[in-house]
Structure 1
Amino acid sequence: MSSVNPPARFSAEFDANSQEFSLAGVVRPRSADEIATSISTLKEAIEEVRGVLYINVKRLIQMNNTAFHAFVRVVLDACRARSDLRFVIITSSVVGWTTRMFAHLNKLDPQITVEVYDSKFYPGQNFVENTSFIPILRTQTKMTWRHERAILPRHGMRPGIVMADICCGIGDFAVLVQKDFQPARIVALDHSRASLAYARDVAAGFGISGIEYTYGDASEMLLEGNQFDLVTCRHSLQIFNRPDVLLGELYRICKPGGRVYVTNEKNSHCLGEPRSQSIQWTYNEVAKLFSHFEMDVELGPKSRRYLADAGFEDIIVESFMVTNLDGDPRDFADVIMAWEDVYAGEMAVKRGDSAEFIQRFRQGFQDHIFAALHPKGYAGWPIWVASGRKPL
């Protein structure tokens, strides 16, 4: 891989193995001469590749017209010189102006296409970002916090640290951390504008102003590397179709010696009594349903392997069971009811499930609610917690 960095805060790289030329940072030259080395890198990449050259601008924060026209001229000239070569420009919805800026290039030459990266990377995001699902997430966090509050110090949480909460959702976890542990700084990032809007309202409701809520793509964060003592990412690896890519970003922004903390589920281990068989059948089917949409709600026990493969050391894994005995059983029932509405509703219909299947699928959720509210019943939802330290 060759790499150059003209001027500060801007980088241009070519990876021959993936046939990808990447631009990142802020590129605002006064003349094309200032970026001549980067232009040469692009030309060398074009000479070397066969088939498709990917141009990655997912981390391109700013680009002025001088730079845009200089790079585009090279690409258009290459299209005219080589009919065998295609260009795929990869943008991100987080940096929306890049999609708008580059989109018209396909009209100039059909050898150029533009893809919005994260529209493919999050195949299930429309389900988990359903605004009707947002309020129940607060109840879920209330139930898990009783356990995590005691667990977090074993995984690197302490007062005064610099912390990032990635895939922060509605921001309630960051609020609870701020109240109970008082980090010096919290950056909370999410890919859902609706969730972030709700998060800011939650923080305001608690009278907390010290959390930096940021819109961003967790798999391509516009955050500098090696800056956080603790990076948390809860219930999120399981809804990405490439959890290894997300973990790579968590690793990058974590300081050497800092820790990354993740929580995930194994939905097939949800349980209840009475009516255990119906409940077990439904949650086995939940796992299959999520798999259909390229999500893995069985990821919990796999966390150790994922962390090890990402390069972490001193990996700690533990689990806890959220139950109907953790406070008000109605809270547990409300969570299951929300799951039923989304999983046996929109998701099952989108998969094309029959009415007969959906009826049986719903019955398991309803039986789980029955177990939670039964005066002698027991209902459980297991969570796996894992963290790893980034080597010094």
Structure 2
Amino acid sequence: MSTAALSTPYQAEFDANSQEFSLAGVIRPRTVDEIAATITALRHAVDGARGVVYINVKRLAQMNNTAFHAFARVVLDACRERTDLRFVVVTSSVVGWTERMFRHLGKIEPQISVEVYDSKFYPGQDFVEDTSFIPILRTQTKMTWRHERTILPRHGMRAGIAMADICCGIGDFAALVRKEFRPARIVALDHSRASLAYARNVAGQFGITDIEYTYGDASEMLLESDQFDLVTCRHSLQIFNQPDVLLKELYRICKPGGRVYITNEKNSHCLGEPRSQSIQWTYEEVAKLFSHFEMDVEMGPKSRRYLADAGFEDIRVESFMVSNLDGDPQDFADIITAWENVYAGEMAVKRGDSPEFIRRFRQGFQDHIFAALHPKGYAGWPIWAASGRKPL
């Protein structure tokens, strides 16, 4: 059901299989009559439901009191008439007002509860959204930009376009794109408040005012459909346990004929010389460690399949090797140090690995640093860049 009677359309849908009633967009009627069809649909959905009914408001950008009281009346009446029913209102921290508004219903009626789904919405969230990741992000972008500035025009980057950088991290990629390619509009979205605060602070220091840094959940974005010529999402599909869900959203906000550009890694192919065997063992274990937390840092070569399954056409894939020869070898060594601190210092400990394993695990990172800084050494980190065009 798509309702356009109001000045701004909203969507209301019921999935009978999951017993989930979803509301999205802006619902601001002057009178209840304007949303009468949706209220009736909700009543019918509740009447035919058994057990738990989910009210999904993760994409509900705005709702006025007229609409809220009309929807609340249906739910409260159902609770009083049907003791067998429970209601779970699924909200998002991105639209925090929904939690505050709907939490009030739970205080009135114990059959109603509220879940903020993205407080723990992917297994690696604690590691990825921690401030300890900021040094990794900053140095990684510094190293990869040397390659990506050449690659990006082949994947749809050009002056004057509307661009969205989803899972933007600390915003440095968006700032580099702004300087190099001059898009007409850049929206940079991330779910980490710490990273966004860093991005906004740096932007303020350099007088950058034309990047729209936005707090959001990449799997349930409030951004409108079909509005960006290029959508980028770098090093992020691989850390989300449902990459197909993210790709569906990237596809949705991309204009028909526009492109979605992604980068991902294959960590088990990180390499170094000398001490290659120790290095190889550690990065094979990195892949297993991430898999334990439902993240896939082997995703790089799978990019073509993921883009095809998401409905993209004209898929382009290429890979490049970031190495200690890309500028100052110390930069590469700094990346590895940051990896060691998070992977061996936090993730392996949380998995419950033994001190003996962690010691050997750390040694591989130390040997990779040795290779990066050795006057005759080589250290490499492979990345796959891919893009697909949204059909017209």
Return the alpha-carbon distance in structure 2 between the equivalents of residues 18 and 307 of structure 1: 27
Q: Report deviation, 1:17.
A: 3.4
User: What's the CA shift for 1:129?
Assistant: 1.8
Q: What secondary structure does 1:39 align onto?
A: helix
CA distance in 2, matches of 1:285, 1:35: 55
Matched residue, 2:247: 247
Contact residue 287 and residue 296 of structure 2 kept, 8 A: yes
Paired position in structure 1 for 2:62? 62
Q: Deviations over 1:265-304 (max 9, x none)?
A: 1111111111111111111111111111111111111111
Q: Report the 3-state secondary structure (helix = DSSP H, G, I; strand = E; otherwise coil) of the residue aligned with 1:387.
A: strand
Check conservation: 1:196, 1:213, Cα contact below 8 A: yes
Aligned partners of 1:264 and 1:297 also within 8 Å = yes
Partner of 1:391, secondary structure, is: coil
Question: In 1, are the aligned partners of 2:226 and 2:253 still within 8 Å (CA)?
Answer: yes
- Supply the distance in 1 between the matched residues of 2:84 and 2:193 (Cα, whole angstroms): 41
**What residue in structure 2 maps to residue 340 of structure 1?**
340
* More displaced stretch, 279-288 vs 194-203: 194-203
* Equivalent position of 2:321 in the other structure: 321
Q: For 2:160 and 2:337, locate their aligned partners in 1 and report how far apart those are by CA, in whole Å.
A: 38
Give the structure-1-normalised TM-score.
0.96
With 83-92 and 295-304 compared, the bigger mean Cα shift is at 83-92
* Partner-residue secondary structure (3-state), 2:259: strand
Q: Distance in 2 between matches of 1:50 and 1:10?
A: 27
Superposition RMSD on alpha carbons, in Å?
A: 1.4
Encode CA deviations 1:302-346: one digit per residue, 9 max, x unaligned. Answer: 111111111100001110000001000000000000000011011
Q: Does the 8 A contact of 1:187 with 1:214 survive in 2?
A: yes
**What is the correspondence of 1:1-392 to structure 2 with a 5 Å cutoff?**
2-7=1-6, 8-392=8-392
What's the TM-score, normalizing by structure 2? 0.96
Over residues 171-218 of structure 1, what are the superposed CA-to-partner deviations in whole Å (9 max), with x where a residue is unaligned? 110111111111111111111111111112333344432211111111
Distance in 2, matches of 1:208 and 1:191, equals 21
When structure 1 is superposed on structure 2, of 311-320 and 42-51 the one drifting more is 42-51
CA contact (8 A) 2:265 2:382 kept: yes
Given that 2:3 and 2:9 are in contact with CA atoms closer than 8 Å, whether structure 1 keeps it comes out as no
The percent of aligned pairs where both chains have the same amino acid is 83
Moved more, 244-253 or 115-124: 115-124
Secondary structure of 2:285 counterpart:
helix
1:352 CA drift (Å): 1.2
State the one-letter code of the partner of 2:19.
Answer: Q
What amino acid does structure 1 have at the position aligned with 2:183? P
Partners of 2:136 and 2:339 within 8 A in 1? no
Aligned residues: 391
Residue pair 1:121, 1:240 contacting (<8 A) in 2 also: no
Counterpart amino acid of residue 287 in structure 2: A
Mean alpha-carbon deviation: is it higher for 97-106 or for 379-388? 97-106
What is the CA–CA distance in structure 2 between the aligned matches of 1:280 and 1:112, rounded to whole Å? 52
Q: Which portions of structure 1, spanning 4 or more consecutive aligned residues, are displaced by more than 4 angstroms? A: none
What do the CA deviations read for 1:224-270 (whole angstroms, capped 9, x no partner)? 10010000000000111111110000000000000000001111111
More displaced 10-residue stretch of structure 1: 172-181 or 81-90 = 81-90
User: Which amino acid in 2 is paired with 1:45?
Assistant: A
User: Using the alignment, how far apart are the partners of 2:136 and 2:123 within structure 1?
Assistant: 22
Report the Cα distance in structure 1 between the residues aligned to 2:15 and 2:2, rounded to whole angstroms.
Answer: 9
Following TM superposition, by how much is the alpha carbon of 1:6 offset from its aligned partner in structure 2, in angstroms?
A: 4.2
Q: Deviation at 1:163?
A: 0.5
Q: CA deviation at 1:24?
A: 1.3
**Given residue 178 of structure 1, which amino acid in structure 2 is its aligned partner?**
R
Counterpart-to-counterpart distance in 2, 1:9 and 1:154:
36
Structure 1 residues 241-250 or 127-136, which shifts more?
127-136
Q: Give the secondary structure class of the aligned counterpart of 1:338.
A: helix
Q: Residues of 2 paired with 1:6 and 1:283: CA distance? A: 56
Amino acid corresponding to residue 35 of structure 1 in structure 2: I
Letter in 1 for 2:216: G
CA gap of 1:45–1:6, structure 2 versus 1, over 3 A, is: farther
| Contact 1:172–1:203 (8 Å) recurs in 2 | no
Deviations 1:103-160 (A, max 9, x none): 2433333332221121242221221122132133111101000000110011000111
Query: Which moves more between the two structures, 379-388 or 191-200?
Result: 191-200
Q: Distance in 2 between matches of 1:106 and 1:151?
A: 52
Q: CA deviation at 1:64?
A: 2.1
Please give the alpha-carbon distance, in whole angstroms, between the structure 2 residues aligned to 1:278 and 1:111. Answer: 56
Counterpart contact for 1:3–1:14, Cα < 8 Å = no
CA distance in 1, matches of 2:274, 2:230: 41
